[in-house]
Structure 1
Amino acid sequence: MTGTTPQQDLDRPHDLVGVGIGPFNLSLAALADGVPGPLAATFFEQRPAFHWHPGLLIEGATLQVPFLADLVTLADPASRWSFLNYLKGRERLFPFYFAERFHIQRAEYDAYCRWAAERIPGLHFGHQVDSVRWNPERRLFEVDFTQLDQDGEAAALGRAYTRHVVLGVGTEPYVPEPLRPLAQAPGVPVLHSADYLAHREELLAAGHVTVIGSGQSGAEVFLDLLRARPAGAERITWLTRTEAFAPMEYSKLGLEHFTPDYTRYFHGLSEQARGELLPGQWQLHKGIDAETIAAIHDELYRRTLHGGWPDAVLTPGVRVRTAGRVATTQVELHLEHVRQGTRSRLTTDAVVLATGYRERPVDRMLAGLDPYLRHDAEGRARIDEHYRLVLDPSVTGAVFVQNAERHTHGVGAPDLGLAAWRSAVILNAVTGKEPYPLPRRTAFTSFGLEAREAPGIPAQGRKLTPLVQQ
């Protein structure tokens, strides 16, 4: 929904206001639509419409999670907002059935989410949230926003009142410090992979292209460029700081790190233990799926069939120390191989940074809540088991977060497979009821030693207790 937001509707206190409409708050909105009884919920997004990583919807690229990780299914399989119901409405259910695809294409997931975003009630695109404050007299949060016109310019100001807030502002592309000045300079061919498709044609026309980053995005960009450039004149270099172009951990038991069971276990660890554990888990979410690795190797091998090797360099274990311009059209990268202790220079015509994403800062938006916020030893927000920011007890409402809690909830925070479950946890807490009963156990792995009820008898799984609405 875009367009005007009647202020008289916003003057009435909401139960829930969502800030941002990415997949996670879209999941929350979809499940909120199915909560029995009145639940006044509204969501604001500054973009004019829903789009999910448009720069990486490369032809043939698939999700790394099964289609069951849609907006609702793992919490409510009967929801009208499921992916299967989307297919049914488009008369594509039988073709999908015969296609036997467990992992759908990214473009199809984006189309599904846009279908839902155009129909779920209470979504307001073209609305930029400026600040969130606590009003102790009214015992409500005040959410100030700016309504934007079609050109993204301010058209009107507004305010909503709500008992609870959910932050789902997502992440933003991360550009390493040595390359930041070049990426920000106009006309310099240094871009983040998030903008890949918008610049694909000029990258294909460039004499030499360097891809930096070893995750799935880097692999997909490298493969797409490789397939599109002529044999023997590929002129592509792929560099990464990791020790190898490593496959993502995708074993059945390894995937149990993306279950509610592991999330609860991780949250129960000490702050120090969580901090020590996270860096070593990079292969759970930053590796490359085996199918993409195989496709890259197959393409490289195919180009050797008539003799010779493709003009492609793949080098792991390398970091970019500094970077600068050469004349006006090229970039010089100063490289260091950490293990060898060697350094070299690489001149290239374009650079694609597949260097991941970082949580979008919300300090300015939440400045009014700063006196109430509680932080950990590293200065990060403390977040409880129910995804609520830990606030001063005088604040009777709650601020929930989505995909901003990796330091407290583990590697599953950005994973689409936990979206519906986390949304259900939040809605159960907001309503003080249990509109979405949650499973007591979700993994075969027992991640910690549990207390025993009697000799030889394992303790039963813990059930999350819904929080009573205050």
Structure 2
Amino acid sequence: MTPTDAHDPHRDQPFDLLGIGIGPCNLSLAALADGVPYLSAAFYEQERSFRWHPGLLLDDATLQVPFLADLVSLVDPTSRWSYLNYLRTRERLFPFYFAERFHTHRAEYDAYCRWVAESLPSTCFGHQVDTVRWNPGRAVFEVDHTRLDAEGQAEALGRTYARNLVLGVGSAPYVPEPLRPLAESPAVPVVHSAHYLEHRDRLLAAEHVTVVGSGQSGAEVFLDLLRARPAGRERLTWIARSPSFAPMEYSKLGLEQFTPDYTRFFHGLAEPVRDNLLPRQWQLHRAIDHGTIGAVHDELYRRTLGGGWPDAVLTPGVTVRTAGRMGVGAVELHLEHEQQGTRSRLVTNAVVLATGYRERSLDALLAPIHPYIRRDASGRPRIDEFHRLELDPVVAGTGAAVHVQNAERHTHGVGAPDLGLAAWRSAVVLNAVTGKEPYPLPSRTAFTTFGLGAATEPVSPWTATSPCARPAGTRGS
């Protein structure tokens, strides 16, 4: 496939695989698909270029996964799209070797992904996908899209056909209900941490700043604000709903919950068991790495050396009940401490919401094919072990499939959006779509055996006994 093929808005020949959204996991899929010569693939993204959490590319921020968790290496370390090859093309391999950095800077990972995204012929930026339909006559999906100009305005309409889709539209910043009206108003700086850097100067100028959220982003924002404010006049508050400012589970056996073995185990659990288990695994993905926790404490301690305490309040176990503007340039937060059963109010001049992300809804995009999608007891799409939406046999029986990335935490667990599983998930997709196993996968990936009699041998997607079994793909996010 040539770049012209991928960008042609009037292309009538169906692609074997069409990706919607270009985040890290669909980019991983595109990079590995580039090594499959008999597969035609394209990937559409409405943004003009690859952007990965630009508002949180702080100078010292590092990935929470090792550099081997790049787009391809854990499946194909010989790929030309590996992080090490990226460094080689930049003549930086020896400096990286001597730096002895197992965890790279977040900005470096963003630059690496942009290098891949700009080099692959299958990535089509400035392409907004509007809707997806099933064409029973041709047994393919019709994808209507709009090509956007540099200002984000509609430039041309197009329609693309594909036998298999991979939805990788990612997640969106989550703003708690009590704070949404304030976050949508420009009068007072109430911003999500995803946009922190673009508002940083305004936040630093505020008399008092409150950070909400106890995860990695909250800790990084609090630390950055703390370092930038004068000792004794920090005027910072950090509150969080979680019971403590807790470290990320980072023990070696604990990390095995981010392996394909655990993903298969989790998927095999009953739906109520999965729903009960997920909230209790928060320290696997919503806590703070040890280095950042240490840096926060070190900075606070340093400010006590001359006597006194820093003007900073750190309180976990707190929920924001309601919020509203108070005069000009101030916000009033009404707080409740769950364990104490007490309530209080806090007046602040700016709020940073490090309140995480939620999966983007697929309902509008997939509205025309809703009747074909099987759903669980909670109305969520049922997703098989190969990350395919379970579809009506009218569609599934043709061999067509819709795969999802980072939209299946309810069926595949905390590893669904994890960068360390991106390459493996992409290989599962490609093996299923092609039916030829271009990327052989290991039969076992963890020392832990999850469950009694749990099988570690993966089932081939084209020999599975599932009613959706067919030579068509799976996911990656």
Fold shared, TM-score > 0.5 on shorter chain? yes
Gaps in structure 1 of 5+ consecutive residues: 452-459
Write out aligned runs for 1:229-308 (5 A): 229-308=229-308
Aligned partner of 2:441 in structure 1 is 438
CA separation in 2, counterparts of 1:212 and 1:17? 38
Q: What amino acid sits opposite 2:433 in the alignment? A: V
CA separation in 2, counterparts of 1:444 and 1:4? 42
Q: 2:275 is paired with a residue of what secondary structure?
A: helix
Alignment pair present for 1:23 and 2:24: yes
Alpha-carbon distance, 1:253 to partner = 0.4
- How many residues of Structure 1 are paired with residues of Structure 2 in the alignment? 460
Q: 1:132 is paired with a residue of what secondary structure?
A: strand
Alpha-carbon distance, 1:276 to partner = 1.0
TM, length-normalised to structure 1? 0.96
The answer to whether the 8 A contact 2:128-2:146 is kept is: yes
- Residue number among 399, 422, 426 corresponding to 2:402 in the alignment: 399
Alignment pair present for 1:6 and 2:8: yes
Alpha-carbon distance, 1:461 to partner = 3.1
CA separation in 1, counterparts of 2:179 and 2:276? 28
CA separation in 2, counterparts of 1:186 and 1:228? 24
Residue-by-residue CA offset, 1:78-107 (whole Å, 9 max, x unaligned): 000000000000000000000000000000
Alpha-carbon distance, 1:203 to partner = 0.6
- Residue number among 403, 411, 418 corresponding to 1:415 in the alignment: 418
Aligned partner of 1:314 in structure 2 is 314
Write out aligned runs for 1:369-408 (5 A): 369-395=369-395, 396=398, 397-408=400-411
Aligned partner of 2:459 in structure 1 is 464
CA separation in 1, counterparts of 2:272 and 2:335? 33
Aligned partner of 2:467 in structure 1 is none
The answer to whether the 8 A contact 1:2-1:124 is kept is: no
The answer to whether the 8 A contact 1:2-1:125 is kept is: no
Gaps in structure 2 of 5+ consecutive residues: 463-469, 473-477
Q: 1:366 is paired with a residue of what secondary structure?
A: helix
Alpha-carbon distance, 1:7 to partner = 3.1
Q: What amino acid sits opposite 2:406 in the alignment? A: N
The answer to whether the 8 A contact 1:147-1:155 is kept is: yes
Residue-by-residue CA offset, 1:52-101 (whole Å, 9 max, x unaligned): 00000011100000000000001111000000000000000000000000
Alignment pair present for 1:75 and 2:75: yes
Q: What amino acid sits opposite 1:21 in the alignment? A: I
Aligned partner of 2:475 in structure 1 is none
Q: 1:400 is paired with a residue of what secondary structure?
A: strand
CA separation in 1, counterparts of 2:70 and 2:403? 21
Aligned partner of 1:217 in structure 2 is 217
CA separation in 2, counterparts of 1:404 and 1:59? 30
Aligned partner of 2:154 in structure 1 is 154
CA separation in 2, counterparts of 1:362 and 1:119? 28
CA separation in 2, counterparts of 1:435 and 1:199? 46
Q: What amino acid sits opposite 1:177 in the alignment? A: E
Aligned partner of 1:187 in structure 2 is 187
Write out aligned runs for 1:44-83 (5 A): 44-83=44-83
TM, length-normalised to structure 2? 0.95
Alpha-carbon distance, 1:469 to partner = 3.0
Q: What amino acid sits opposite 2:188 in the alignment? A: V
CA separation in 2, counterparts of 1:405 and 1:463? 19
CA separation in 1, counterparts of 2:123 and 2:130? 17
Alpha-carbon distance, 1:186 to partner = 2.3
Aligned partner of 1:32 in structure 2 is 33
Aligned partner of 2:466 in structure 1 is none
CA separation in 1, counterparts of 2:47 and 2:57? 18
CA separation in 2, counterparts of 1:99 and 1:130? 45
Identity %: 72
